[in-house]
Structure 1
């Protein structure tokens, strides 16, 4: 369970910081906005899902006590 928490914590960081050099090289438009802007907006949703998963794991652990 600890590994899942570490992975869920690392995904938003890698999404926003680690992938920027690779994503910034892509130039097409997605839904009328540059791909980099689309990537950052998608990162908000990915971060929300990861934090929601962490909350669910911790809340489930606290209810078991």
Structure 2
């Protein structure tokens, strides 16, 4: 299950690049593609942190 979550975020990021590959609009002073990439970096990091915390808690209970 954890591998599914990891690959889902990777494929969602890579698969969406062709859709968001444009310079305008600017968000927070960044071109849209740069903002999109940075957002996915943060989202993926948060998801992996939460997944790791859940897995560690499950291992402690066993």
Q: TM-score, length-normalised on structure 2?
A: 0.80
Query: Which ranges of structure 2 fall in alignment gaps of 5 or more residues?
Result: none
Q: How many residues align?
A: 61
Q: TM-score, length-normalised on structure 1?
A: 0.77
Question: Moved runs in structure 1, 4+ residues, more than 6 A?
Answer: none
Query: Which ranges of structure 1 fall in alignment gaps of 5 or more residues?
Result: none
Q: Which one scores higher on RCO, CA 8 angstroms, separation ≥ 6?
A: 1
Query: Which digits, 9 at most, give the CA deviation of each residue in 1:2-56, with x for residues without a partner?
Result: 3xx32x2133202321110001146211011100000011111101111112102
